[in-house]
Amino acid sequence: MARTGRRPGNQDTREAILAAAREAFAERGYDGASIRQIATSAGVDPALVHHYFGAKDQLFLATMEAPINPGEILPKIFEPGLDGVGERLVRTFVGVWDSPTGTTVAALVRSAMQHEWSARMLREFLVTQILRRATRTLNLDPAEAPKRASLVASQMIGLAMIRYILKLEPLASMTEDEIVRNVAPTIQRYLAEPLPEA
C-alpha cells in the first residue's frame, strides 16, 4: 500500500477508528452500528470519523478492506432497469474477478468460509450494500427482493468458487462472453421473472 503523507499519530487514529468500527459492525451489524458510538469507542470526535472515512457505508467498506466500491459499479448494472440486468451483472462481476482485484475478492470469500466474523460482514455487505441498492433502483417488490437476491448470490458466489478457487474446467478458463451467455439467463430469471409459486 502506498504511504500517505500523514503523520504516524494520525495513522494511529485511523487504525483506532477502524478497529472500533470492525467491532461495532460485527457485534451490532451495519444498521445497529453508529458513527457516534464508534467514535466514542475509539476515543475521538465523530467529526474525525467523517473526516477520515466519509459516511457509514464508506467506513464499512474500509473495515472490510473491500476491493470494490458498490456505489460506483452497481448503478451501471441496475439503473438501465430489469431489461438485460442479468447480462450486465454477470459481465461486470466476471470483469472485476478476472482483474487483479479478483485475488482480494477471493480472499474475502475464503475468509467468510472460515470465520463467523467474516461471514457476518459479508452477509451485511451483500444485504446493505448490494441488495438494498438493487431493490431501490430496480423497483423490486420488497417482499420478494431478499429471496431474489439470495438466489442471485448463490449462483454468483458459486461461479466465483468454481472459476477462481476450485478452478474446475472448463468453467475456469471459459471466456467472459461464454460465461455471460450461459449464466446471465439464470440471473435474469432470479431477478426479473415471476418467482415460482407452490
Sequence-separated (6 or more) residues with CB below 8 Å from residue 197 = none
| 77 neighbors 83 (Cβ within 8 angstroms) | no
**Rounded Cα–Cα distance for residues 149 and 136 (Å):** 13
C-alpha cell at 58: 464508506
Chain positions 162 to 191 lying near its own copies, rule: CB under 8 A, are: 162-163, 165-172, 174, 177-178, 181-183, 185-186, 189-190
The correct pick among 11, 113, 139, 176 for binding its own copies (CB under 8 A) is 113
Handedness of CA 73, 79, 82, 83 (dihedral sign): negative
Q: Fill in the amino acid letter for 23.
A: E
Which lies closer to its own copies via its Cβ, residue 26 or residue 109? 109
| 33 neighbors 21 (Cβ within 8 angstroms) | yes
Question: Which range of residues in 48-56, 59-67, 88-96, 113-121 is near its own copies by CB under 8 A?
Answer: 113-121
Which lies closer to its own copies via its Cβ, residue 47 or residue 195? 195
Binding site for its own copies (CB under 8 A): 109-110, 112-114, 119, 122-123, 126-127, 146-147, 150-151, 153-159, 161-163, 165-172, 174, 177-178, 181-183, 185-186, 189-190, 195-198
